[in-house]
Structure 1
Amino acid sequence: MLETPPIWFLALAFLGAIGPLVFIHEFGHYIVGRWFGIGAETFSIGFGREVAGWTDKRGTRWKVGWLPLGGYVRFTGDMNPASMGQDLDKLSPDLRARSFHAKPVWQRALVVFAGPAANFLLAILIFAAFIAVNGAPRTPAVVAAVMPGSPAAAIGLVKGDRVVGIDGREIRRFDDLADYSRLRPGEEVVITVERAGRSFTASTRLASVTEADRFGQTYRVGRLGIATGERVFEPVPPLQLIPEAAGITWSTIENTSVGLWQIITGRRPLEELGGPIKMAQVAGQVASIGWFEFVQLIAFFSINLGFINLLPVPMLDGGHLALYAVEATRRKPLGAQAQEWLFRGGFAALMTLMLVATLNDLSSVGLWQTLGRLLG
């Protein structure tokens, strides 16, 4: 078992991962806003008091805040980093022309969506680069061995069987089957199998297995109980690199949404929800393994950042998009008071979520156990 790196290394790895991702996210907002002629007053990486910064020739203040847990672009006409608008009638004609809130709703929606889209695009480019170098995973879901007493053994799977579907979902490669099973420990599934040119279906309950990574952290995962042959990577033509990488990105988004929904519905414990401390721990551990693994982790972090920001929660990009959808339907925005209450509720929800995630993080690093020993 590997030792967890020191705290300073975890902090550096976290900043090395999250800093560029926040910049990419906010630059997506910024550059699309520029295309639509929207002025930007502030481009900030981090929150709180400014640590360093400069003002460009367009009057945009580029700065770094002392709290590196996000960032924002404050466009002309915004009252605050949450992009709540000022009264347009109080702005001069020049400021009104460059104001974010004076633009058509479709332009504002594209500016907001551009942040998450930039994170997804970064992940696609990283995956495409890896596929160009190593090839794409193509290990077929063909049974090489069946674990005794496993769900696969219970439904009579034998060597040479090929799993082609699970719960109506097509399985083209072993990774598809593994990803689907991993998120559903102890759940009933329907397996579609091909054997000697004929197909059949069978229902079984996936095993719930507790696994430990190389740093000793444990995770509960689902397993069907089959082994496959040697892992296969196939070369991909240059024109197929982006579609292949986009498919991996979409699959990751699907898995993330399933995991979040399982936590919301109680199928997974709330303790599995992690926050910044957990991210720093994972970033440091993966960075200590190697650059290849660390860059791959950055791609997954980027997808998660884009996904979380698209959740329909006020204060997040998804909350803004939901309000714009209401505005497009009603042909007018919600009233200022209604928006203010929604943003307050969204802020409270985010702070509650952050508190729960932080408490989980502190538990995962053994703080409560240490305090118990000291106080005992």
Structure 2
Amino acid sequence: MFDILSMIFWAMVLIVILVGVHEFGHFWVARKLGVKVLRFSIGFGAPLWKHTAKDGVEYVFAAIPLGGYVKMVDEREEEDVAEEDLPYAFNRKSLVVRSAVVAAGPLFNLLFAIVAYWAVFVNGEIDIKSYVGELAGDSIAAVAGVRENDRIVSINGDATPGWNRVNQALIEAAMREQPAQLILEREHEVERGVVLTNAMLSPLREGQASLQKIGLAPRFPTLPAIIGAISSGKAGERAQLKPGDRILSANAQEIAAWKAWSDVIRAHPEQEIQLVVERGAEQIQLTLRPDAKDEDGKVIGFAGVGSAIPDGFMDEFRVLDRYGVLEAWPRALHETWRMTKLTLSGIWSMITGRMSVHNMGGPLTIAKIAGDSAGGGFSFFVGLLAMLSITLGVINLLPVPVLDGGHLFLFLIEAVKGSPLSEPVMLQLQKVGLIIIAAIMFLAIYVDLHRFFGM
């Protein structure tokens, strides 16, 4: 229950920040260019809080924080505009001014992403070093020539000190339908190149992108088979296992690491396992009967025990990716531009059918990622803010009626035609835009339901 509330809270924090940045862009530019603003609202529906400033602007935080708006003086929306407000009405401003006000929202999202990435790079990102873990012999990566314990030095010329960079580079190559040139190194061997072709990367375009689909996973240190947390009422407690117990053998099979212990449990649902356990200075014998649970249609064993993580366990496998205050700016600009292109490429690939719509993320996915990233610390959460701010900015620039890009497209028609489209035509276009947005929202929710509940 706490995890669900935490996810909802951090998702709301994320949405309020992104919407606030977007609407502040419209608000700030409108005021600077002489348009009178009546209300700045985060959210829709009944106001939870509001304040009217000395200049007459009403600031509102509403009950449904899933969007926002800036209400300006506009004769098209109000019948009785005061005479003294007419020079400040949005509809009376030049095409250039109106375009600047509309474009400011997405532009501020992109500018915010640059600042957010700068903060991430200055603070530094803790990542797992880009060493390759265990590979299945028939996996795509293994067939291409990647070997266990290889370190991935770079992909398509970009350095990859950690797995975050590896993940970004391979997914980017897959979305662009380009091969990925990997430079690999091993101890006492010279660097060598391996190419993952476009066909090899195609699984990353289907459903949720995961490097496990092509057989790639990080190398982790060997975790000893020492019991940590024990869930109440589960098989581990019934077998009288205690925190600190070291598993020496299971059914006469020597257990040297946690993975081997986990594999034995999973392979014996509701079957007795004879254990030899080291507890302090003595060895004792116990009998464990794992519970059964379903995992992707397969019944596996489950003991309800967690591993004890030794102090400094991951230290030698971590890398801190950090930049100086000044050198972080060009890096932030590059990352914002890279993610902008990647977002556009992804949208186009889904429209043309080259990428599965199951790569989309709806409200449930955003809530889960928000909660996970908040638990990962400052850099993870702010990095997610930057990425979603770019997504929000790019989507709002699409030429769909009701979006900022749709308004800009109508302004372009007005510039070419010499006058705006008629009210009936504008109304029909808005209806089309609303249908498109509703369809995308329903599709995103469907993908979420399928992803989390198999519906």
Shorter-chain TM range is 0.7 to 0.9
**Matched letter for residue 356 of structure 2:** P
Matched, 1:326 2:409: no
For structure 1, the residue ranges without an aligned partner over 5 or more in a row are 81-85, 166-170, 211-216, 369-376
The secondary structure found in structure 2 opposite 1:365 is helix
CA distance in 2, matches of 1:326, 1:13: 41
1:300 to 384, 387, 392: 387
Provide the residue aligned with 2:352 in structure 1: 265
Provide the residue aligned with 1:355 in structure 2: 442
1:205 to 193, 199, 202: 199
Decide whether the 8 Å contact of 1:151 with 1:204 is kept in 2: no
**Higher relative helix content:** 1
Provide the residue aligned with 2:375 in structure 1: 288
Query: How many percent of aligned residue pairs carry the same amino acid?
Result: 30
Structure 1 residues 41 and 162 mapped into 2: Cα distance closer, same or farther (>3 Å)? closer
Displacement of 1:204 in angstroms is 5.7
**Matched letter for residue 355 of structure 1:** F
1:317 to 404, 409, 418: 404
Provide the residue aligned with 1:33 in structure 2: 30
Decide whether the 8 Å contact of 2:208 with 2:359 is kept in 1: no
Structure 1 residues 5 and 157 mapped into 2: Cα distance closer, same or farther (>3 Å)? same
1:14 to 8, 11, 23: 11
CA distance in 1, matches of 2:34, 2:194: 59
Displacement of 1:348 in angstroms is 1.4
Displacement of 1:269 in angstroms is 2.7
Structure 1 residues 164 and 275 mapped into 2: Cα distance closer, same or farther (>3 Å)? closer
Provide the residue aligned with 2:336 in structure 1: 249
**TM-score, structure 1 as length reference:** 0.76
**Matched letter for residue 317 of structure 1:** D
CA distance in 1, matches of 2:208, 2:341: 23
Structure 1 residues 265 and 57 mapped into 2: Cα distance closer, same or farther (>3 Å)? same
Structure 1 residues 186 and 206 mapped into 2: Cα distance closer, same or farther (>3 Å)? farther
CA distance in 2, matches of 1:97, 1:263: 44
| Alpha-carbon RMSD | 4.0
> Superposed, which structure 2 residues align to 1:1-376 within 5 Å?
6-77=3-74, 79=76, 91-134=81-124, 165=156, 171-174=157-160, 178-183=167-172, 189-190=178-179, 205-207=199-201, 219-221=209-211, 223=214, 236=323, 238-366=325-453, 368=455
The secondary structure found in structure 2 opposite 1:114 is helix
The secondary structure found in structure 2 opposite 1:6 is helix
For structure 2, the residue ranges without an aligned partner over 5 or more in a row are 185-189, 220-316
CA distance in 2, matches of 1:258, 1:198: 30
Number of residues of Structure 1 aligned to a counterpart in Structure 2: 345
**Matched letter for residue 46 of structure 1:** G
**Matched letter for residue 58 of structure 1:** D
Structure whose CA Rg is larger: 2
Decide whether the 8 Å contact of 2:23 with 2:68 is kept in 1: yes
Decide whether the 8 Å contact of 2:106 with 2:392 is kept in 1: yes
**Matched letter for residue 59 of structure 1:** G
